[in-house]
Amino acid sequence: MVAAVTVEAPEASADRSDRRPQPLAVRPEFDLPDDVAYLNCAFMGPMPTGAVHAGIQGLGRKARPWTIAPDDFTVPVDLLRDCFARLLGVPGDVDGVAITPSVSYGVSTAARNLHFDDGADVVVMAKQFPSDVYGWEKAALRHGGRLRTVEAPADHDWTSAVLAEIDAAGSSLGLVAVPPCHWIDGGVVDLVAVSEAARAAGAAVAVDVCQWLGAAPFDVEAVKPDFVVGATYKWLCGPYSLGFLWAGPRWRDGEPIEHGWTARANSHCLACLADYTADYQPGARRYDVGEVANFALVPAALAATELVASWDPQRTAAHARHLTDRVAEGAAALGLHTAPAALRSPHIVGVRLGPEVDAEALAPALADRGVHVSVRGDALRVSAHGFNDRSDVERLLGALAELLGRTP
C-alpha cells in the first residue's frame, strides 16, 4: 500500500559531492535541477540545452526566409542520417536511412514493402508497443496471416520464449518484429540469436530501437535486420515528432507511403521541380516524410543525437547499468522484485510492486518528492541515462521506502 502522501518531501541534496565518481559527467548539458531525479527517459528524454537552442535558432530562420538556401533542404538532413547510421553500427550508410515523424510511420513504410507469403505469421511480444503491434497486425492480416504473440515468460527469459515461438511457427513464419528490450520493464532479447533463427526459417526481421538507441550499442551488421525503426525523443534526447527508418540494402527501391517532392531525383533544383520524374533520391531517402527538412526539428535532433553519440553507447550503457543495478539491489532490500541482471537491459529496470501496492498512486507521490518514473502495468519502470547519477537513485530508493512504509 502506498503510505499517506502528506509527509514532507525530503530535502533536496544541495551538495551532490557525495556521489560516487561516474564514468559520465554530462548532467550540465541538461536543464536538470539538483532536486529532480529524472529516471524516466523511457517516457521522454530531456532535450540538452544546446539542442533546444539549435531548434530555436532553426525556427528563427523562418522569420528570415531569405536566409534559407536550397542546400538547407538536404545537407542537415544528411548529417542527421549519418548520425543515425553511426549509432546503428553502420557508419557511412547514409543511403540506408529515411527520416520519419514516428515509429508508426516507419513500421507502416516497412509493412508496405515487405513481401511475405500468403498466410505468413508475424511474431511479436506480449504487450509490445502498440505502434509496432497495430502496423504489423495489419500487414499480417493483409497476407492472410496473423500475429503470434509470445507470452511473457515467468523466468523473464524473452530470448528463449521468442526462439520457441519461431520454432513453433515453422514454415508459416513471415516476420519477427521484436525489439532489443521490452518497453515496459527492459526485459532483453538477444536479437542476434533471434534474427539468425528467423532468417534460417526464411523470415524477415524488423526491429524497433526506440527504447534502446542512444542508451546502448546496436549493431546492424551483427543483427542483420531487414528494417530498423526508431524515434529521437527518448534515449536520443531529441525532439518529439522526429524518427528514422533504416532499410536493409534489398529494401531500398520500394514504395513510399507518400510522394513528396524532396524524395524525387533532382529535387535540389528548385527551378526544375515541375520537370516531373519517376526517379528517386538514392537509397532509403525515398521513404522520407514530406517536408523532411524541418528547420526547427532537424537541427535540434542533430545536436541532441550528436551529443548522445559522443558519450559512446558502450560507456552510456555501463553507466546506466551501474545505476539500474543499484535500483534492483535497493528494491530487493524493500522486498520488491526485479528480473535478474542478465535478463534486463542496462538502462531500464521494472520493479514489480505486488498487489498490495497502489501502483497508480505511487508515481504521483514519487513525483511530489522530485522523483520521476513511470508506472507501466504492475511495474514501476525506472530508466537511467548518461545524465543520471547515484544520488538520483538514492533519492528514488529513499522515497520508495518512505511511501511503502518499509525499511531496507
Q: Closest CB to ligand PLP among 205 and 400?
A: 205
40, 108, 113, 131: which one contacts ligand PLP (CB under 6 A)? 131
163, 231, 307, 365: which one contacts ligand PLP (CB under 6 A)? 231
Query: Please, what is the minimum distance in Å from the beta carbon of residue 147 to ligand PLP?
Result: 16
242-271 residues near ligand PLP, rule: CB under 6 A: 243
Spatial distance between the Cα atoms of 132 and 315, rounded to a whole number of angstroms = 29
> For strand 227-231 and strand 243-247, is the pairing parallel, antiparallel, or unpaired?
antiparallel
b vs e for 117-151, b when ≥16 Cβ sit within 10 Å of the residue's Cβ? Answer: eeebbbbbbebbbebbbebbbebbeebebebbbbe
46, 73, 90, 102: which one contacts ligand PLP (CB under 6 A)? 102
Residue span 360-399 as binding mask against ligand PLP, x where in contact by CB under 6 A, dash where not: ----------------------------------------
104, 109, 305, 338: which one contacts ligand PLP (CB under 6 A)? 104
149-188 residues near ligand PLP, rule: CB under 6 A: 179, 183
Spatial distance between the Cα atoms of 237 and 27, rounded to a whole number of angstroms = 13
The residue count for binding ligand PLP (CB under 6 A) is: 12
Q: Closest CB to ligand PLP among 139 and 357?
A: 139
Q: Work out whether 232 is an interface residue with ligand PLP (CB under 6 A).
A: no
SS (H, E, C) the chain: CCCCCCCCCCCCCCCHHHCCCCCCCCHHHCCCCCCCEECCCCCCCCCCHHHHHHHHHHHHHHHCHHHCCHHHHCHHHHHHHHHHHHHCCCCCCHHHEEEECCHHHHHHHHHHHCCCCCCCEEEEECCCCHHHHHHHHHHHHHCCCCEEEECCCCCCCHHHHHHHHHHHHHHHEEEECCCCECCCCCEECCHHHHHHHHHHCCCEEEEECCCCECCECCCHHHHCCCEEEEECCCCCCCCCCCEEEEECHHHCCCCCCCCCHHHECCCCCHHHCCCCCCCECCHHHHHCCCCCCCCCHHHHHHHHHHHHHHCCHHHHHHHHHHHHHHHHHHHHHCCCECCCHHHECCCEEEEECCCCCCHHHHHHHHHHCCEECEEECCEEEEECCCCCCHHHHHHHHHHHHHHHCCCC
Q: Closest CB to ligand PLP among 313 and 330?
A: 313
Q: Closest CB to ligand PLP among 326 and 347?
A: 347
Q: Closest CB to ligand PLP among 145 and 238?
A: 238
Q: Closest CB to ligand PLP among 129 and 280?
A: 129
**Window of 16-24, 91-99, 205-213, 307-315 that interacts with ligand PLP by CB under 6 A:** 205-213
Sheet holding 374-376, edge to edge: 348-352, 379-383, 374-376
Query: Please, what is the minimum distance in Å from the beta carbon of residue 349 to ligand PLP?
Result: 15
Residue span 30-49 as binding mask against ligand PLP, x where in contact by CB under 6 A, dash where not: --------------------
> How many C-beta atoms lie closer than 10 Å to residue 360's C-beta?
9
Query: Please, what is the minimum distance in Å from the beta carbon of residue 362 to ligand PLP?
Result: 20
2, 85, 90, 103: which one contacts ligand PLP (CB under 6 A)? 103
Q: Closest CB to ligand PLP among 130 and 340?
A: 130
Query: Please, what is the minimum distance in Å from the beta carbon of residue 100 to ligand PLP?
Result: 8
Query: Please, what is the minimum distance in Å from the beta carbon of residue 232 to ligand PLP?
Result: 10
Query: Please, what is the minimum distance in Å from the beta carbon of residue 363 to ligand PLP?
Result: 15
Query: Please, what is the minimum distance in Å from the beta carbon of residue 21 to ligand PLP?
Result: 32
**Window of 46-54, 90-98, 203-211, 364-372 that interacts with ligand PLP by CB under 6 A:** 203-211
Query: Please, what is the minimum distance in Å from the beta carbon of residue 24 to ligand PLP?
Result: 23
Q: Work out whether 211 is an interface residue with ligand PLP (CB under 6 A).
A: yes
Interacting residue ranges for ligand PLP, rule: CB under 6 A = 102-104, 129, 131, 179, 183, 208, 210-211, 231, 243
